[in-house]
Amino acid sequence: MFTSTEDAWVGAVHSTKNARVLYESGTLLYRQGHVGCASALLVLSAEESSKAMGIGQHITNPLPPKNLRQLFRTHVFKHQGGAHASAIAHLLVGMLRNQVPDKTPAHRECGVIEQIEKWRINADNLKKRGFYVDYTGEKWHSPDQLTQEEYEGARFVAETLLTMSEGFFLQGTLDELKSHGSQNAR
Protein backbone atom coordinates (compact mmCIF):
# COMPACT_ATOMS: atom_id res chain seq x y z
CA MET A 1 0.00 0.00 0.00
CA PHE A 2 2.84 2.40 0.87
CA THR A 3 5.94 2.57 -1.26
CA SER A 4 8.25 3.03 1.75
CA THR A 5 8.30 3.87 5.44
CA GLU A 6 8.99 7.47 4.42
CA ASP A 7 5.82 7.42 2.32
CA ALA A 8 3.85 6.01 5.26
CA TRP A 9 5.28 8.76 7.50
CA VAL A 10 4.00 11.41 5.07
CA GLY A 11 0.53 9.85 5.28
CA ALA A 12 0.64 9.89 9.09
CA VAL A 13 1.65 13.56 9.09
CA HIS A 14 -1.17 14.43 6.63
CA SER A 15 -3.70 12.50 8.74
CA THR A 16 -2.53 14.28 11.89
CA LYS A 17 -2.77 17.72 10.30
CA ASN A 18 -6.25 16.91 8.99
CA ALA A 19 -7.25 15.73 12.47
CA ARG A 20 -6.18 19.14 13.83
CA VAL A 21 -8.26 21.01 11.21
CA LEU A 22 -11.31 18.87 11.99
CA TYR A 23 -10.81 19.36 15.74
CA GLU A 24 -10.49 23.14 15.42
CA SER A 25 -13.49 23.30 13.06
CA GLY A 26 -15.55 21.33 15.56
CA THR A 27 -14.62 23.57 18.45
CA LEU A 28 -15.44 26.69 16.41
CA LEU A 29 -18.84 25.31 15.47
CA TYR A 30 -19.47 24.42 19.10
CA ARG A 31 -18.77 28.01 20.15
CA GLN A 32 -21.40 29.08 17.62
CA GLY A 33 -23.95 26.76 19.21
CA HIS A 34 -23.84 23.95 16.64
CA VAL A 35 -23.33 21.05 19.05
CA GLY A 36 -24.40 18.33 16.59
CA CYS A 37 -22.11 19.19 13.70
CA ALA A 38 -19.31 20.02 16.14
CA SER A 39 -19.61 16.56 17.73
CA ALA A 40 -19.56 14.89 14.31
CA LEU A 41 -16.40 16.76 13.32
CA LEU A 42 -14.73 15.69 16.56
CA VAL A 43 -15.50 12.05 15.71
CA LEU A 44 -13.88 12.61 12.30
CA SER A 45 -10.88 14.18 14.02
CA ALA A 46 -10.52 11.13 16.27
CA GLU A 47 -10.76 8.86 13.22
CA GLU A 48 -7.97 10.74 11.44
CA SER A 49 -5.74 10.66 14.54
CA SER A 50 -6.46 6.95 14.91
CA LYS A 51 -5.51 6.44 11.27
CA ALA A 52 -2.22 8.27 11.85
CA MET A 53 -1.51 6.10 14.89
CA GLY A 54 -2.27 2.98 12.85
CA ILE A 55 0.11 4.11 10.12
CA GLY A 56 2.75 4.67 12.79
CA GLN A 57 2.17 1.17 14.10
CA HIS A 58 2.56 -0.14 10.56
CA ILE A 59 5.93 1.64 10.26
CA THR A 60 7.30 -0.07 13.38
CA ASN A 61 5.40 -3.36 13.16
CA PRO A 62 3.79 -3.97 9.76
CA LEU A 63 0.06 -4.65 9.82
CA PRO A 64 -1.54 -7.39 7.73
CA PRO A 65 -2.87 -5.98 4.42
CA LYS A 66 -6.49 -6.53 5.54
CA ASN A 67 -5.97 -4.46 8.69
CA LEU A 68 -4.17 -1.75 6.76
CA ARG A 69 -7.12 -1.45 4.34
CA GLN A 70 -9.55 -1.32 7.28
CA LEU A 71 -7.56 1.56 8.73
CA PHE A 72 -8.55 3.63 5.69
CA ARG A 73 -12.02 2.28 4.96
CA THR A 74 -13.70 1.02 8.13
CA HIS A 75 -14.90 3.56 10.67
CA VAL A 76 -15.49 0.96 13.38
CA PHE A 77 -11.89 -0.24 13.03
CA LYS A 78 -10.65 3.33 13.59
CA HIS A 79 -13.01 3.74 16.56
CA GLN A 80 -11.68 0.57 18.18
CA GLY A 81 -8.05 1.56 17.64
CA GLY A 82 -8.69 5.07 18.84
CA ALA A 83 -10.52 3.90 21.94
CA HIS A 84 -7.73 1.50 22.86
CA ALA A 85 -5.00 4.10 22.32
CA SER A 86 -6.95 6.71 24.27
CA ALA A 87 -7.59 4.37 27.20
CA ILE A 88 -3.95 3.32 27.38
CA ALA A 89 -2.79 6.94 27.30
CA HIS A 90 -5.06 7.94 30.16
CA LEU A 91 -4.11 4.93 32.25
CA LEU A 92 -0.40 5.65 31.77
CA VAL A 93 -0.84 9.31 32.65
CA GLY A 94 -2.79 8.29 35.75
CA MET A 95 -0.05 5.90 36.80
CA LEU A 96 2.65 8.50 36.19
CA ARG A 97 0.76 10.91 38.41
CA ASN A 98 0.21 8.19 41.01
CA GLN A 99 -3.55 8.48 40.56
CA VAL A 100 -3.99 4.78 39.91
CA PRO A 101 -3.30 2.66 42.99
CA ASP A 102 -1.54 -0.58 42.12
CA LYS A 103 -4.13 -2.91 43.62
CA THR A 104 -7.39 -1.36 42.40
CA PRO A 105 -8.92 -1.59 38.94
CA ALA A 106 -7.64 1.42 37.02
CA HIS A 107 -10.98 2.20 35.44
CA ARG A 108 -12.53 2.84 38.86
CA GLU A 109 -9.82 5.31 39.77
CA CYS A 110 -9.38 7.14 36.49
CA GLY A 111 -13.05 7.22 35.46
CA VAL A 112 -12.11 7.31 31.78
CA ILE A 113 -12.44 3.74 30.54
CA GLU A 114 -16.24 3.76 30.62
CA GLN A 115 -16.35 7.12 28.85
CA ILE A 116 -13.97 5.91 26.13
CA GLU A 117 -15.88 2.66 25.71
CA LYS A 118 -19.17 4.54 25.45
CA TRP A 119 -17.61 6.74 22.76
CA ARG A 120 -16.31 3.71 20.84
CA ILE A 121 -19.73 2.06 20.78
CA ASN A 122 -21.57 5.23 19.78
CA ALA A 123 -19.03 7.11 17.62
CA ASP A 124 -20.42 6.21 14.21
CA ASN A 125 -23.99 6.89 15.30
CA LEU A 126 -22.93 10.17 16.94
CA LYS A 127 -21.28 11.25 13.70
CA LYS A 128 -24.42 10.46 11.67
CA ARG A 129 -26.70 12.15 14.21
CA GLY A 130 -24.47 15.22 14.15
CA PHE A 131 -24.61 15.60 10.38
CA TYR A 132 -28.06 14.39 9.30
CA VAL A 133 -31.75 14.89 9.97
CA ASP A 134 -33.48 11.51 10.15
CA TYR A 135 -36.95 10.10 10.67
CA THR A 136 -37.29 6.71 12.34
CA GLY A 137 -40.97 6.19 11.59
CA GLU A 138 -41.86 7.41 15.05
CA LYS A 139 -40.20 10.80 15.33
CA TRP A 140 -37.74 13.22 13.79
CA HIS A 141 -34.08 13.37 14.82
CA SER A 142 -31.93 16.44 14.21
CA PRO A 143 -28.31 17.43 14.86
CA ASP A 144 -29.56 20.13 17.23
CA GLN A 145 -30.75 17.39 19.60
CA LEU A 146 -27.23 16.27 20.51
CA THR A 147 -26.32 17.05 24.09
CA GLN A 148 -23.46 18.81 25.81
CA GLU A 149 -22.48 15.47 27.34
CA GLU A 150 -22.21 13.84 23.90
CA TYR A 151 -20.08 16.73 22.66
CA GLU A 152 -17.80 16.54 25.71
CA GLY A 153 -17.34 12.79 25.24
CA ALA A 154 -16.35 13.30 21.60
CA ARG A 155 -14.04 16.20 22.52
CA PHE A 156 -12.34 14.15 25.25
CA VAL A 157 -11.42 11.29 22.90
CA ALA A 158 -10.57 13.53 19.93
CA GLU A 159 -8.28 15.70 22.06
CA THR A 160 -6.53 12.68 23.58
CA LEU A 161 -5.85 11.07 20.20
CA LEU A 162 -4.85 14.33 18.56
CA THR A 163 -2.34 15.06 21.34
CA MET A 164 -0.83 11.60 20.90
CA SER A 165 -0.75 11.85 17.10
CA GLU A 166 0.82 15.32 17.12
CA GLY A 167 3.41 14.13 19.64
CA PHE A 168 4.46 11.30 17.37
CA PHE A 169 4.17 12.83 13.91
CA LEU A 170 4.52 16.59 14.25
CA GLN A 171 6.99 16.78 17.12
CA GLY A 172 8.84 13.52 16.51
CA THR A 173 10.76 12.17 13.55
CA LEU A 174 10.56 9.02 11.46
CA ASP A 175 13.95 7.91 12.79
CA GLU A 176 12.73 8.28 16.37
CA LEU A 177 9.65 6.21 15.61
CA LYS A 178 11.72 3.51 13.90
CA SER A 179 14.14 3.50 16.83
CA HIS A 180 11.30 3.15 19.33
CA GLY A 181 9.81 0.33 17.28
CA SER A 182 13.12 -1.54 17.10
CA GLN A 183 13.58 -1.20 20.88
CA ASN A 184 10.13 -2.71 21.45
CA ALA A 185 10.96 -5.62 19.16
CA ARG A 186 13.88 -6.67 21.38
CB 140 within 8 A of CB 29: no
CA-CA distances (angstroms) from residue 72 to 8, 12, 53, 57, 78? 13, 12, 12, 14, 8
pLDDT-wise least confident of 74-83, 148-157, 170-179:
74-83
Instruction: Give 50 or 33, the one with higher predicted confidence.
Output: 33
Average pLDDT over residues 90-111: 47
Per-residue three-class SS string for 59-124: HHCCCCHHHHHHHHHCHHHHHHHHHHHHHHHHHHHHHHCCCCCCCCCHHHHHCCHHHHHHHHHHHH
Average pLDDT over residues 131-154: 94
Average pLDDT over residues 15-21: 96
Which pLDDT band, with edges at 50, 70 and 90, does 70 fall under? confident
CB 57 within 8 A of CB 15: no
Average pLDDT over residues 42-57: 88
Q: In whole angstroms, how large is the CA radius of gyration of the chain?
A: 17
Average pLDDT over residues 60-66: 78
The Cα–Cα gap between 50 and 168 comes to 12
pTM of the full structure:
0.79
* Per-residue pLDDT tens over the stretch 101-130: 444 444 444 566 677 777 778 888 899 999
Average pLDDT over residues 130-146: 95
